[in-house]
């Protein structure tokens, strides 16, 4: 790779791309633009060909049914099973002894499972689930730490046709309860606790109230991970180990239609209610299998590490289903990058000889802040490809990642996609694409992306606009669970016939996409999407609060930090103690990830005459920018008062 430094005075549009090395290109799965040409020539034929990489029990009659937009369907009448594609077919093809899953815990304990061993574990747990009356179409909530049993549970659900809803382990019990209730889960799978920076974080005991208030839950399965105490409920709570002890290690897979639901994953929205994003079986698997193989230039000998949590879409698509469908070895780690020391990730790369490393810009900026000495003292020479996911990466972080982690020798696949898209949508192909630090480059073959203005017209080079997808793609969400109207309004009404991503973007003169981030009121906190409305709702639930407005303030490490402007009830005085109380309250209601970094008390919020809170002005105040037009405000003096008070704070 080219070792040039980035000149900050040169605009992104003028940056000369970093080209892949001759050595990388020679060994790459894709060496030229033939894949793009093939997809441009006949998009549906391209996806049909990609679907041949999947093992089908019955082949599809039709690639795409687009008769009822936006409720598109893919691989009509195709029959398959996801766990068969991730496990059985590799065992049957002679890869049974290949490592499927490598795990290291925060305390240094390890697990290694071959494809045959993982298949046996999945079959045993599938039989345990069936023994509890769980079957096709039943919802199962998984609230677990990053341990092998979590992946086993997901795959077992796919084997018997149950629909899993994985909830991020860092979310609060209240957030867990909301997701159990919405999905009407019959079963919850959790752990006694999780290891986090040397401490035991209780899970089962923390979930007590949520479970007691979830009438649809019939059984709870608990993995004893940490020995953290809890009070089991007789007749409902069962131990993972007890269920697995006598379970049969073979289980006939359920035959699933391509359009049968695979999982629900809840994503923050701009209302207080999380969105239950529904993905189905065939198209989703084709999408993640294809993108994993080509974006990560997958080779048989790769040891692949994606640092995401399985509670997010990245964990679903690029820890579990994409890598295992492609027959890769996927590594998972339970802990954080800075415990017990700030070189923990680099120690693991050195130890396991990781070849592909996929992480978030938030983490990369933290690594930069901690200093070069941590990666520099480790042998990272096994790495051949780096990836970035979760939010746009700034050029400085890209260059640091390239130089200090990739030794200026590894292509970086900067990927743009969403929970809703299911699969990577805009990305380099590492053996083909010249890389510009900070740009996600081009749409993946078979994906038609564009940037449009307010009227839905394509924008010219350098013109800011809205990122849209112009045609359906296999791994797309099918609807929002139990809310098809919200599905249409959120994604398809803005520009008829186009999928509205909610992100701002522009294209440069070479056609490269530059993603600017959210244009709505969803914040990107360390790569995790948190709805402003969710945080505001939590604040207003506190007895001292009348009203709240939440904005995302640009943060060097996290992307955004949460700043809250709060109006208190008559007679209530703002204080440091109340600030801490409100922060703790939000943490309890949603989770620590949504805890505001700043809370500022104000007698009134800036509102238009129609009563709409002008968050844009609050963002300008927080980031100390010049204020725009305030003539539409009900009381322009409010903004001046907030600005003065915020400055003094």
Pick the CATH number of 82-254 from 3.90.110.10, 3.40.50.300, 3.30.300.210, 3.40.50.980: 3.40.50.980
178/5: higher pLDDT: 178
List CB contacts of 444: < 8 A, sequence separation 6 or more.
291, 294, 295, 423, 424, 425, 426, 427, 429
The pLDDT assigned to 354 comes to 98
Contact 253, 159 (CB under 8 A): yes
What's the pTM?
Answer: 0.86
Please enumerate, as own/partner, the contacts of 483-489 that have beta carbons within 8 Å and a separation of 24 or more.
Answer: 483/275, 483/276, 484/71, 486/275, 487/70, 488/70
The CATH architecture one would assign to domain 12-81+261-518 is: 3-Layer(aba) Sandwich (3.40)
Other C-beta atoms lying within 10 Å of the C-beta of residue 547? 17
The pLDDT assigned to 392 comes to 84
SS (H, E, C) 63-126: EEECCCCCCCEEEECCEECHHHHHHHHHHHHHHCCCEEEEEECCCCCEEEEEHHHHHHHHHHHH
pLDDT in tens, 495-509: 999 999 999 899 999
Residue 471 burial (CB < 10 Å; 0-12/13-18/19+)?
middle
Fold of 522-648: GMP Synthetase; Chain A, domain 3 (3.30.300)
**Stretch 311-324: mean pLDDT:** 97
Confidence category of residue 10, pLDDT binned at 50, 70, 90: very low
pLDDT in tens, 130-160: 999 999 999 999 999 999 999 999 999 999 9
Task: Give me 303's structure tokens.
Answer: 């040891």
SS (H, E, C) 397-462: HHHHHHHHHCCCCCCEEECECCCCCCCCCECCCCCCCCECCCCCECECCCCCEEEECCCCCECCCC
Phi/psi zone of residue 631: left (φ > 0), alpha (ψ -120 to 50 degrees), beta? alpha
* Residue 617, SS3 per DSSP: helix
Which residues of the chain does CATH 3.40.50.12780 include?
Answer: 12-81+261-518
Which residues of the chain does CATH 3.30.300.30 include?
Answer: 522-648
Q: Is the pLDDT of residue 639 over 90?
A: no
Q: What is the mean pLDDT of the chain?
A: 91
Confidence category of residue 547, pLDDT binned at 50, 70, 90: confident
- Out of 212-226, 298-312, 621-635, least confident range: 621-635
Q: Is the omega angle on the peptide bond into residue 340 within 30 degrees of 0, that is, cis?
A: yes
pLDDT in tens, 24-62: 999 999 999 999 999 999 999 999 999 999 999 999 999
Phi/psi zone of residue 571: left (φ > 0), alpha (ψ -120 to 50 degrees), beta? left
DSSP string of 338-384? TSS-TTHHHHHHHHHT-SEEEE-HHHHHHHHHH-THHHHTS--TT--
Cα–Cα distance between 577 and 66 in angstroms, integer?
56
Which of 555, 645, 636, 640 has its CA nearest to residue 600? 645
Which of 447, 443, 444 has its CA nearest to residue 513? 443
Cα→Cα distances 11→7, 15, 17, 391, 395, Å: 9, 7, 13, 20, 11
Which of 188, 164, 186 has its CA nearest to residue 176? 188
- List residues bridging with 200 in a β-sheet: 195
pLDDT in tens, 472-498: 999 999 999 999 999 999 999 999 999
Which residues of the chain does CATH 3.40.50.980 include?
Answer: 82-254
């Amino acid at each position: 790779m080219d070792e040039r430094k980035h000149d900050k005075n040169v605009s992104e549009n003028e940056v000369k791309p970093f080209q892949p090395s001759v050595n990388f290109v020679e060994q790459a799965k894709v060496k030229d633009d033939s894949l793009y040409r093939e997809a441009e020539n006949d998009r549906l034929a391209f996806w049909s060909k990609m679907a041949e990489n999947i093992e089908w029990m019955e082949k599809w009659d039709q690639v795409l049914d687009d008769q009822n937009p936006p409720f598109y369907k893919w691989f009509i009448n195709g029959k398959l099973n996801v766990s068969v594609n991730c496990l059985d077919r590799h065992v049957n093809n002679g890869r049974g002894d290949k490592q499927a899953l490598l795990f290291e815990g925060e305390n240094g304990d390890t697990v290694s499972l071959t494809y045959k061993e993982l298949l046996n574990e999945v079959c045993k747990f599938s039989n345990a689930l069936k023994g509890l009356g769980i079957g096709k179409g039943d919802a199962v909530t998984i609230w677990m730490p990053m341990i092998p049993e979590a992946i086993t549970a997901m795959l077992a659900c796919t084997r018997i046709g149950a629909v899993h809803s994985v909830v991020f382990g860092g979310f609060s019990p209240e957030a867990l309860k909301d997701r159990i209730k919405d999905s009407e889960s019959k079963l919850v799978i959790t752990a006694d606790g999780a290891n986090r920076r040397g401490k035991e974080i209780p899970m089962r005991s923390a979930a007590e109230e949520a479970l007691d208030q979830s009438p649809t839950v019939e059984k709870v399965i608990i993995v004893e991970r940490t020995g953290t105490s809890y009070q089991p409920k007789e007749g409902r709570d069962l131990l993972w180990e007890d269920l697995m002890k006598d379970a049969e290690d073979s289980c006939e897979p359920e035959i699933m239609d391509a359009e049968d639901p695979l999982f629900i994953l809840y994503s923050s929205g701009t209302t207080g209610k999380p969105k239950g994003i529904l993905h189905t079986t065939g198209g989703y698997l084709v999408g993640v299998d294809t993108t994993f193989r080509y974006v990560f230039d997958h080779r048989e000998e790769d040891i692949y590490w994606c640092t995401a949590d399985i509670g997010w879409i990245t964990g679903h698509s690029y820890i579990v289903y994409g890598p295992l469908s492609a027959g890769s070895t996927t590594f998972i780690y339970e802990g954080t990058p800075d415990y017990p020391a700030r070189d923990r990730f680099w120690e693991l790369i050195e130890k396991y000889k990781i070849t592909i490393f996929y992480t978030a810009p938030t983490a990369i900026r933290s690594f930069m802040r901690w200093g070069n000495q941590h990666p520099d003292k480790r042998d990272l020479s096994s790495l051949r490809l780096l990836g970035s996911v979760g939010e746009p990466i700034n050029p400085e972080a890209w260059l640091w990642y390239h130089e200090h982690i990739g030794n200026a020798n590894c292509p970086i696949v900067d990927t743009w996609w969403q929970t809703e898209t299911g699969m990577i949508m805009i990305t380099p192909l590492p053996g083909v694409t010249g890389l510009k630090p900070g740009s996600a480059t081009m749409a993946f073959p078979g994906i038609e992306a564009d940037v449009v203005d307010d009227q839905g017209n394509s924008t010219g080079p350098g013109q800011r606009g809205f990122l849209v997808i112009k045609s359906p793609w296999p791994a797309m969400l099918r609807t929002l669970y139990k809310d098809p109207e919200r599905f249409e309004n959120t994604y398809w009404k803005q520009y008829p016939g186009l999928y509205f991503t909610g992100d701002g973007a522009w294209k440069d003169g070479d056609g490269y996409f530059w993603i600017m981030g959210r244009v709505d009121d969803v914040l990107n906190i360390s790569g995790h999407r948190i709805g402003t409305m969710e945080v505001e709702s939590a604040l207003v639930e506190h007895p001292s609060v009348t009203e709240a407005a939440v904005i995302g303030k640009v943060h060097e490490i996290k992307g955004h930090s949460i700043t809250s402007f709060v109006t208190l009830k008559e007679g209530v005085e703002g204080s440091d103690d109340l600030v801490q109380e409100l922060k703790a309250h939000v943490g309890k209601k949603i989770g620590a990830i949504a805890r505001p970094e700043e809370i500022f008390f104000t007698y009134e919020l800036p509102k238009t005459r129609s009563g709409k809170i002008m968050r844009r002005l609050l963002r300008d105040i927080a980031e100390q920018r010049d204020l725009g037009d305030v003539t539409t405000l009900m009381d322009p003096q409010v903004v001046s008062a907030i600005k003065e008070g915020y400055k003094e704070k």
